[in-house]
Amino acid sequence: MAKKTLQLGRPAAIPTSPAEAVLDRVPNRHADTNYLARFTFPEFTVMCPVTGQPDFATLVIDYVPRSWLVESKSLKLYLNSFRNHGAFHEECTVAIGKKLVAFVKPRWLRIGAYFHPRGGMPIDVFWQAGRLPAGVWAPDQGIRTYQARA
């Protein structure tokens, strides 16, 4: 079997849909150590499947890896593939979490999706898989819930 070439270090177009996106992974050189890795993606966009209007969010993905790490360029391309994809907030958040869990099989993963209000109401979605290992520091995700101007 030929060795797969990572997207890292070469030009790669944004996939036109999440189904077309390819995630890459690399070996975790510290698989014997419990630690938390965090990805914060402040420019997530998905299309409302009813109105076709864009919905914007900040995604925060925390995970405690086992044998594999998700490669960040491929993750950025995957997350950007939602830009022209129609999905509800809950659907895309849970799908992203499940795809990452299936792909890198972490000890623990949580995703927080903090959507900006549209129509006067923000929708935040939270999902996790597994249990946080004892002794691992998982700081607050640091995203304030929406507050109207005073």
Residues marked as catalytic:
48, 55
Which residues touch 107 (CB under 8 Å, ≥6 apart)?
A: 34, 63, 64, 65, 66, 130, 133
For residue 77, how far is the Cα from the chain centroid? 11
| 3-state class (DSSP) for residue 72 | helix
For residue 29, give both structure tokens.
Answer: 């050189």
